[in-house]
Amino acid sequence: MVKDKLNLLHHIKSKRAKQCLKKPIKRDVFKQISGLVRWYGLKENFLDVLDKVEDYLSKEDLQYIRVRLKTPMEKSLFSLVTESEYSLTLSIISKVDNSYLQFAESPEEIILCRPLYRLNPSLPTEKLMRYHFETLFLHERAKVENNESNEHSTGKNR
């Protein structure tokens, strides 16, 4: 009986200790994008840039694969935005609308969210957190181009 009480006491203590563990505050998409809008001073014309992603992707400097790591911005715990920043944030979220957006650390990465997601919608979280979206996009595009050239050279596409 004493042993049962000790086991029960140990069980209660361990359960309470687990409940008291600190849980990190997760940043949701709104906080992430509103922080970028504020940090970079984005305006409504940024939405026009999102519509012209193909122009951005055809730039000459995207021809060479290079490895770029993320440069994290300073993040606040809470999102305090003006009415126009709030509106722009919601517009960006609705326009891009994919799971990669929460990992964007710059306006350039916001722009690359949709094309990257189209190329590979199942990139692991670790890659999205570590590598710049340009690096991931170029890598995924190279894989697609390699597969297409292999299909043409082997005659599978006939």
Q: pLDDT of 64-88, one tens digit each? A: 566 777 876 677 777 889 999 999 9
State residue 53's pLDDT score.
81
Range of the structural domain that residue 39 is part of: 23-154
Q: What pTM value is reported for the model?
A: 0.72
Residue 8 lies in a domain: no
Does residue 150 sit within a domain?
yes
The count of domains in the chain is 1
Answer whether residue 52 is part of any domain.
yes
Alpha helices in 20-155, H assignment, sequence order: 29-40, 46-51, 53-57, 83-96, 107-119, 125-130, 133-154
Confirm whether 89 is domain-assigned: yes
- CA angle in degrees (0–180, nearest 5) for 65-43-47: 60
In a domain, 5, yes or no: no
In a domain, 37, yes or no: yes
